[in-house]
C-alpha cells in the first residue's frame, strides 16, 4: 500500500516520487478516485453565495408575509363585528399571539438549523406553515377563539428568521457578513406585502383569498428551496446535544447583550408593524385600508434601512450604528407621544423611527456575526431572535391596556422613548467593551501578532 506525504506547499510534490529538500519521498497518489456525492455538491455550490442569499431572503419574506396575515385584519374585525364585540385589548392579543410563538420557536429552530442546515429547515418551516393558514381560512374566520388557535400555529412562520441568519452567515466571509445578513433581514418586508394586500383581497376578492394565495406561494417556495438551496461548503455541524448547546449559547455575554439590543430594535419594528394599523385608526380616525397603507410605508423604510445598517456596520462598526439608531428612536417616540399632526411632524417622527429600528436590527446581527463563532451563530440567533419577537409582543399589549384606561397612547410611547435611552447607554458601555475585548483577542491570535 502506497502512502502520500505532503511536504509544506503542494508544489513540492512531483509525479513519480521525487525527493524534497529534506530527503523524504513525496509520492503522488494513483489516478484520482471518482468524486463522491458530497464532492459534487460542493462544486455545485461553490461560487453561488448570492443565489443562496437571494433564495433565503425570498423565503424569509414569504414566511413573514404569512406571519403578518392577521395583523391588518384586526381593526376590520373589530369594526364589522365579524368575531363579536372586541375590545382594544382583544385586538392586541389577536395580533400578538403569532409574534410570541414565532419568537419562542426561534430558540429551538435556530439550534436545529446549526445541526441540520438551512437546506432542510427552510422547506420544513415553509411547508408546516401552510397548515395553520388553511385552518384559519376554512375554520377560524368567524370565531375569535379559533382565530387565536390558528394564530398560535401561524407563529411557526416567524421562526424562518432563525433559519436564514446562520445559513447566510456561513456563505460569506466576515468582512461581508454585516451586509449579507442585512440584505437577508430585508425579507422582513414580507409584512409590507401583507399590509398592502390582505385587507384588499379580504374585502374585494373573498375572505379566504389572502390565505389561499399565501399558502400557494409558500408551497411553491418550499419546493424551490428543496431543489435549489445548498448549505455552505465546510459548514461546521455541532455534535453536542441540543439542550447543551442552548445552555452554552445562553451563557455567552454577547447573547444577552444582543438580546437586549434586538428586543428594542426589532421588537420596536414588530410592535409597530402589527399594531400601527390599530393605533392609526383609533388615534387618527383613519380607515383600515389607509392605516394599513401607512403601516406598509413604515415597513418599507425599515426594510430598506436594515441592509444599510449592516453595510455601515461593516464600514464603521456596529456600535456607532446602534447608538445613532437608539438616539433617533428616543427622540421620535417622544415626539409621537405628544400626538402631533400626522401629515407633518407625526409622519416624519414615525418614518425616522422606522429607519432607526431597521438599521439597528441590521447592526445587531452584524455585531453577532463579528464576535460569535460561526458554529454558534444559529443558536445565538435563535435566542436573540426570540428576544426581538418578545420585544414586539409586549408593546401592543401595553398600548392596548393603556389606551383602554386612559384613552391615550402617550404613556406607551414615552415608555418606548425611555427604553431607547437605556438601550443607548447599554450600547455605549457594556456592549462596546464586549466588542473591544473580542477585537483584542482576535489581534493576539492573528498570524501578524506572532
Domains of the chain with bracketed CATH: 48-376+400-439 (1.20.1250.20)
For residue 239, what are the contacts with CB-CB under 8 A and spacing of at least 6? none
Q: What is the pTM of this model?
A: 0.73
38 sits in which H/E element: helix 37-45
Give the pLDDT confidence of 114-125 residue by residue, as tens digits: 889 999 999 999
Burial of 76 from C-beta contacts in 10 A (0-12 / 13-18 / 19+): buried
The Cα–Cα gap between 354 and 298 comes to 6
- pLDDT per residue of the chain (450 residues) written in tens, 0 to 9: 444 333 334 333 333 444 443 333 333 333 433 444 444 444 444 448 999 999 999 999 999 999 999 988 888 888 888 888 888 788 888 888 898 888 889 988 988 998 899 999 999 999 999 999 999 999 999 999 999 999 999 999 999 999 998 999 899 988 888 889 889 988 988 888 998 899 899 999 999 999 999 999 999 999 999 999 999 988 878 888 888 888 888 899 999 999 999 999 988 887 887 778 878 888 888 887 788 788 888 888 998 999 999 999 989 999 999 999 999 999 999 999 988 888 889 889 999 999 999 999 999 989 998 888 877 888 898 899 888 878 877 787 787 788 888 888 888 889 999 999 999 999 999 999 999 988 888 777 766 555
Counted residue by residue, the chain has a size of 450
Q: How far, in Å, CA of 155 to CA of 266, rounded?
A: 16
Q: Label the pairing between strands 25-26 and 18-19.
A: antiparallel
C-alpha neighbours within 13 Å on the C-beta side of residue 380 = 28
Phi, psi of 199 (to 5 degrees): -65, -40
- Burial of 33 per CB tally in 10 Å (0-12, 13-18, 19+): exposed
> In this structure, are residues 374 and 169 in contact, taking their beta carbons and an 8 Å threshold?
yes
Question: 352-395: per-residue pLDDT in tens?
Answer: 999 999 999 999 989 998 888 877 888 898 899 888 878 877 78
| Angle (nearest 5°) at CA 38 between 34 and 41 | 105
Amino acid at each position: 500500500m502506497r502512502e502520500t506525504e505532503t511536504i509544506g506547499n503542494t508544489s513540492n510534490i512531483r509525479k513519480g516520487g521525487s525527493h524534497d529538500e529534506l530527503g523524504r519521498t513525496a509520492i503522488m497518489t494513483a489516478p484520482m478516485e471518482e468524486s463522491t456525492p458530497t464532492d459534487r455538491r460542493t462544486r455545485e455550490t461553490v461560487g453561488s453565495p448570492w443565489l443562496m442569499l437571494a433564495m433565503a431572503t425570498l423565503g424569509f419574506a414569504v414566511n413573514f408575509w404569512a406571519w403578518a396575515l392577521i395583523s391588518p385584519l384586526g381593526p376590520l374585525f373589530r369594526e364589522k363585528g365579524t368575531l363579536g364585540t372586541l375590545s382594544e385589548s382583544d385586538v392586541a392579543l389577536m395580533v400578538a399571539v403569532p409574534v410570541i410563538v414565532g419568537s419562542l420557536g426561534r430558540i429551538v429552530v435556530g439550534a436545529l438549523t446549526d445541526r441540520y442546515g438551512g437546506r432542510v429547515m427552510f422547506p420544513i418551516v415553509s411547508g408546516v406553515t401552510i397548515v395553520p393558514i388553511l385552518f384559519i381560512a376554512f375554520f377560524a374566520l368567524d370565531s375569535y377563539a379559533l382565530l387565536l388557535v390558528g394564530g398560535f400555529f401561524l407563529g411557526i412562520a416567524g421562526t424562518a428568521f432563525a433559519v436564514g441568519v446562520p445559513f447566510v452567515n456561513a456563505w460569506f466571509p466576515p468582512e461581508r457578513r454585516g451586509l449579507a445578513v442585512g440584505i437577508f433581514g430585508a425579507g422582513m418586508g414580507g409584512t409590507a406585502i401583507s399590509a398592502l394586500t390582505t385587507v384588499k383581497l379580504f374585502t374585494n376578492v373573498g375572505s379566504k383569498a389572502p390565505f389561499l394565495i399565501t399558502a400557494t406561494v409558500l408551497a411553491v417556495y418550499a419546493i424551490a428551496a428543496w431543489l435549489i438551496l445548498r448549505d455552505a461548503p465546510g459548514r461546521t455541524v455541532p455534535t453536542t446535544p441540543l439542550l447543551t448547546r442552548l445552555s452554552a449559547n445562553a451563557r455567552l455575554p454577547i447573547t444577552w447583550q444582543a438580546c437586549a439590543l434586538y428586543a428594542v430594535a426589532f421588537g420596536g419594528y414588530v410592535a409597530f408593524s402589527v399594531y400601527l394599523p390599530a393605533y392609526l385608526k383609533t388615534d387618527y380616525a383613519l380607515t383600515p385600508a389607509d392605516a394599513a397603507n401607512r403601516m406598509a410605508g413604515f415597513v418599507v423604510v425599515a426594510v430598506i434601512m436594515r441592509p444599510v445598517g449592516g453595510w455601515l456596520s461593516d464600514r464603521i462598526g456596529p456600535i456607532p450604528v446602534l447608538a445613532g439608531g437608539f438616539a433617533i428612536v428616543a427622540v421620535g417616540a417622544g415626539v409621537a407621544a405628544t400626538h402631533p399632526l400626522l401629515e407633518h411632524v407625526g409622519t416624519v417622527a414615525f418614518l425616522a423611527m422606522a429607519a432607526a429600528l431597521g438599521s439597528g436590527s441590521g447592526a445587531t446581527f452584524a455585531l453577532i456575526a463579528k464576535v460569535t463563532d460561526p458554529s454558534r451563530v444559529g443558536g445565538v440567533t435563535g435566542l436573540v431572535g426570540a428576544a426581538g419577537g418578545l420585544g414586539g409582543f409586549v408593546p401592543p399589549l401595553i398600548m392596548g391596556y393603556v389606551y383602554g384606561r386612559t384613552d391615550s397612547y402617550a404613556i406607551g410611547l414615552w415608555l418606548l422613548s425611555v427604553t431607547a435611552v437605556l438601550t443607548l447607554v447599554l450600547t455605549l458601555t457594556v456592549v462596546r467593551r464586549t466588542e473591544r475585548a473580542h477585537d483584542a483577542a482576535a489581534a493576539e491570535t492573528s498570524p501578524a501578532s506572532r
